Amino acid sequence: MSAIELRRVDKSFGKRPVLSDFSLNVEAGEQVVIHGPSGCGKTTVLRLIAGFIAPDRGSVGIGGIVVAQGAKIQVAPEQRNLGMVFQDLALWPHLTVHGNLDFALKAQDLSREIREQRIQEMLTRVRLNGFEDSCPTPLSGGQQQRVAVARALVSHPMALLMDEPLSNLDDDLKEELLDHILELHAQLAFTLIYVTHSRQEIERLAARVIRMPTCPSK
C-alpha cells in the first residue's frame, strides 16, 4: 500500500496553472527528493499532501485513505499524521525549544507524562539535550534546523515533508545536517519527501529523484 499518492492532479492559482495531470506514488519508508525549476510546483505538491490547499482536479491519498478529492479537503491537515519542515523553519520565537515540541504534541490529547517522554527522546535524537529552556532565536542556524526537525518528528508522523530546509546554511553545516537527517530516517523509518534545488542535497539524500516538469502553459 502506498504511503502517499497523488492521482491525476491539476492545480492552478488564478489563471496560472502549476500542476497538470500530475501523479505521484510514494511507498512507506521511501526516501524521495523532488527538484526542478522555480515555479514548477515542488512546494505546491507538499502543500497538497499536507492539506494546506486542495487540488482543482484529481485526488490525494495518505495511507490508502483519500484525504482530498477535486476541490474538497476531506481530512484536515492536523489529522493527516504528517510532519513538515518549512524553508523558513517557522519556529515559534516566543516559545522555548521544549515549548515548540510540546505545542506539536498537545493536539494529540496525550498525557503530560507521555508528552514529556517523547520530547526528551526526540531532543536526545537530535542532540539538543540541555537546550530545553532556550528560545530559538539565539540558537545557531544548525540548532534551529534541528529544533524544526524534532518538532516535526516528535508526534511520530508516518511521513516527513521538507521544503528546502537547508537552503540558508553553508556547505559544511549542510553536510552535517544531511548526515543527521539520514541517521534519523534510518532510526525511525518514516517516509521522507524532500524538496530542493541543491545538487549536493540530491546526491546525499535521494533513493529516488523526481524531476518536476516545467509549469503547464495557460
Which residues are within 8 A (CB) of 67 and not within 5 positions of it... i.e. 6 or more apart?
51, 60, 61, 73, 74, 75, 80
What CA–CA distance (Å, rounded) separates 190 from 158? 6
pLDDT tens per residue, range 157-175:
999 999 998 887 888 888 8
Where the chain has pLDDT below 50, the residues are none
Counting residues of the chain whose pLDDT is more than 90, the rounded percentage is 73
pTM given for the model: 0.91
- So where are the chain's domains? 1-81+157-218, 91-155
Classify domain 1-81+157-218 at the CATH class level: alpha beta
